[in-house]
């Protein structure tokens, strides 16, 4: 194909989340409601952790970082999706597509690492409670958070330039509701097998590192809990870890399908459903899971609420 047909700077067209336009109004209302709840819940979580001294602990510091990531994550894709659902123009510029790819790669990569580090925090709290203030001091917490953000941004800086330098020609219609790499690469007019293999290896490594930390941490936690003679101590340990395990299962399950499962098992419709789940639903579920199942957070919320009422 001639180089004249290869346009590296033209806009892309996002085909959106749904094919059936009859249900657009209902879907728009549902997604908008989820977006409002997700942003509000995460901002409230960040606010409570900042203002309540009882929540100035390593676990809640890492949880505040998760809420920041979730807020940025859902704001990367959903506002554009909502605008496209009510407008005729569904285009996204080449630069805008690259920015969207970088931001979602950074957020999802940072969450991968942060969830692994949160498992380490739970391991120290359950297995080494006497040394917890030393092993998880402020400096360590800060370094862990920086490490998570750095790991995610490294993924974005590595994969985004390669994706955007692939030649695209012919159709500019992305069968997705945002610029996710697998959907964008389907429009490439060059052989991308080498890059796809590189991306596959990169994603597997980014999953393996935190999963290894999580598996090791919870294996040691289970051994410690098994040795506990106190039923109250066992219950407290399980309560402390159950919220984190729930979030890990949801987030990593969706990521495994998208980035590790071979493309032969994928269809564009399934990809959009799974992507909608981890980019729209998960950022809403995370703060709700941690707040509704956590007495400290609910106590801080009730305290602030009573102050506002009085």
Q: What would the pLDDT profile of 85-116 be if each residue is shown by its tens digit?
A: 888 888 999 999 999 999 999 998 999 899 89
Q: Is the pLDDT of residue 153 over 90?
A: yes
Between 94-127 and 58-86, two packed helices, what is the crossing angle to 10 degrees? Answer: 150
User: What pLDDT is attached to residue 1?
Assistant: 41
> What is the spatial distance between Cα 69 and Cα 283, in angstroms, rounded to a whole number?
9
Segment 227-231 shows an average pLDDT of 73
Q: Is the pLDDT of residue 83 over 50?
A: yes
Average pLDDT for the chain: 84
- Are residues 94 and 10 in contact, defined by beta-carbon separation less than 8 angstroms? yes
**56-70 pLDDT, tens digit each:** 899 899 999 999 999
User: What pLDDT is attached to residue 293?
Assistant: 66
Q: Alpha-carbon Rg of the chain, whole angstroms? A: 21
> What is the spatial distance between Cα 152 and Cα 223, in angstroms, rounded to a whole number?
31
Beta-carbon contacts of residue 19 (< 8 Å; ≥ 6 apart): none
> What percent of the chain shows pLDDT beyond 90?
30
Q: Is the pLDDT of residue 234 over 80?
A: no
> What is the spatial distance between Cα 200 and Cα 114, in angstroms, rounded to a whole number?
21
- Are residues 270 and 258 in contact, defined by beta-carbon separation less than 8 angstroms? no
User: What pLDDT is attached to residue 6?
Assistant: 40
Where are the domains positioned within the chain? 12-295
User: What pLDDT is attached to residue 211?
Assistant: 87
First to last CA, the chain: 71
Residue 5: pLDDT band by 50, 70, 90 thresholds?
Answer: very low
CATH number 1.20.1070.10 is the correct assignment for the domain at 12-295: yes
User: What pLDDT is attached to residue 4?
Assistant: 41
> What is the spatial distance between Cα 34 and Cα 281, in angstroms, rounded to a whole number?
7
> What is the spatial distance between Cα 296 and Cα 243, in angstroms, rounded to a whole number?
13
> What is the spatial distance between Cα 129 and Cα 58, in angstroms, rounded to a whole number?
13
Beta-carbon contacts of residue 261 (< 8 Å; ≥ 6 apart): none
Residue 233: pLDDT band by 50, 70, 90 thresholds?
Answer: low
């Amino acid at each position: 194909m001639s180089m004249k047909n290869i346009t590296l700077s033209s806009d892309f067209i996002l085909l959106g989340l749904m094919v059936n336009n009859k249900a657009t109004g209902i879907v728009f209302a549902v997604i908008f409601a989820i977006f409002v709840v997700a942003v509000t819940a995460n901002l409230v979580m960040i606010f409570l952790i900042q203002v309540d001294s009882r929540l100035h602990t390593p676990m809640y510091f890492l949880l505040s970082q998760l809420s920041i990531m979730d807020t940025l994550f859902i704001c990367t894709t959903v506002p554009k999706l909502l605008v496209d659902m009510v407008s005729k123009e569904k285009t996204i510029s080449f630069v805008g597509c690259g920015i969207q790819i970088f931001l979602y790669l950074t957020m999802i990569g940072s969450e991968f690492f942060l969830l692994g580090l949160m498992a380490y925090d739970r391991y120290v709290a359950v297995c080494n409670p006497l040394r917890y203030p030393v092993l998880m001091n402020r400096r360590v917490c800060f370094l862990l958070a920086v490490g998570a953000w750095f790991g995610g941004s490294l993924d974005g800086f590595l994969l985004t330039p390669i994706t955007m330098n692939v030649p695209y020609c012919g159709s500019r219609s992305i069968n997705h509701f945002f610029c996710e790499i697998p959907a964008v690469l389907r429009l490439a007019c060059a052989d991308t097998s080498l890059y796809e293999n590189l991306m596959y290896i990169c994603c597997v490594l980014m999953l393996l590192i935190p999963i290894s930390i999580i598996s090791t941490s919870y294996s040691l936690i289970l051994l410690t809990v098994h040795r506990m003679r106190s039923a109250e101590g066992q219950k407290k340990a399980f309560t402390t870890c159950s919220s984190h395990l729930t979030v890990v299962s949801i987030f990593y399950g969706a990521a495994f399908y998208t980035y590790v499962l071979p493309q032969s098992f994928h269809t564009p419709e399934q990809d959009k459903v799974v992507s909608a789940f981890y980019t729209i639903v998960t950022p809403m579920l995370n703060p709700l899971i941690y707040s509704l199942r956590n007495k400290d957070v609910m106590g801080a919320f009730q305290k602030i609420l009573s102050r506002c009422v009085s």
